[in-house]
Chain A
Amino acid sequence: EPEVTQTPSHQVTQMGQEVILRCVPISNHLYFYWYRQILGQKVEFLVSFYNNEISEKSEIFDDQFSVERPDGSNFTLKIRSTKLEDSAMYFCASSGLQGKAGELFFGEGSRLTVL
C-alpha cells in the first residue's frame, strides 16, 4: 500500500537554527499538507499546497515557515529560525481527491525538539 514517508523521524536543534523537514507524498497525489501536534495537544493545520503554490495557511504558519516542492517527489517544510515553541510532531499529508472530500494520507511524523 502506498504511503507518505517523512524524514528525519526525530531532529534535535538549537534555538535559532534552521530546520528542514522532508516528506515524500504518495506519487500520484496533487495536494500536500503540513500539520503539527505539540505534545499533549490537538493536531493543528499549518499549510496546504497545490500546483506549486500555497493554497491556504493558518495563523501559525508565519514568515518563519516556508514550504517547497523542489522536485517531482519531495515536499519540504523549512523553519528559518526555530523557537522553543516550535517543538512538536510535524505531520505531512497528501491527497489525490480533495475536490471530492477525499481522504488525506498522513506520514508517521517528524519529531522536532528545540533546545
Chain B
Amino acid sequence: DAKTTQPNSMESNEEEPVHLPCNHSTISGTDYIHWYRQLPSQGPEYVIHGLTSNVNNRMASLAIAEDRKSSTLILHRATLRDAAVYYCILIVLGAQKLVFGQGTRLTINP
C-alpha cells in the first residue's frame, strides 16, 4: 500500500477554516485518496474521497495537487464537533481494506 504522511497534530479555532495536509509522493495512478475521521470514543467516519479533481461535499472539500503527490482536506468553518483524528488513506480501486496510519489529531479551540 502506498504510504501517506500527515502531521501528528494540528490546532485551530472554532468557526475558522482548517487545512489538513497529506503527502503521498508514491501514489499510483489507480489510488483513490480517501479521508476518514474518528471522533473520540467512536468508530471511523467517512469524510470524502477523490481521484484527480477537487471534490466538495457537505462535510468538507478535498483539494488534490496537480501531480497528485499531496492533498489537503479543508473544513471551511470548524466547529467543536470537528475535533477528531483525521486519516488520509490511499485505496486502489477494488481494494478490500483501509490501511489506517496515525492520522492528524485536530484540536478545535472555542
**Interface residues, chain A, CB within 8 Å of chain B?**
4, 33, 35, 42-45, 48, 55-56, 58, 91, 93, 98-101, 103-109
Contacts and interface: CB of A to CB of B under 8 A. Distances in A.
Nearest to A105: B46
Interface in B52-110: 87, 91, 93-102
A9 to B, nearest CB: 10
Contacts of A107: 43
B5 interface: no
Chain B's interface size range is 20 to 34
A52 to B, nearest CB: 16
B24 interface: no
Contacts of B99: 45
Given A93-B43, A99-B94, 7 more contacts: A35-B44, A42-B102, A43-B98, A45-B99, A48-B96, A104-B44, A108-B43
21 contacts: A35-B98, A42-B101, A43-B44, A43-B87, A45-B97, A45-B98, A48-B96, A56-B97, A91-B43, A93-B44, A99-B94, A100-B93, A101-B32, A101-B91, A103-B49, A104-B44, A104-B46, A106-B44, A107-B43, A108-B42, A109-B43
B100 A42 contact: yes
Interface of B: 32, 34, 36, 38, 42-46, 49, 87, 91, 93-102
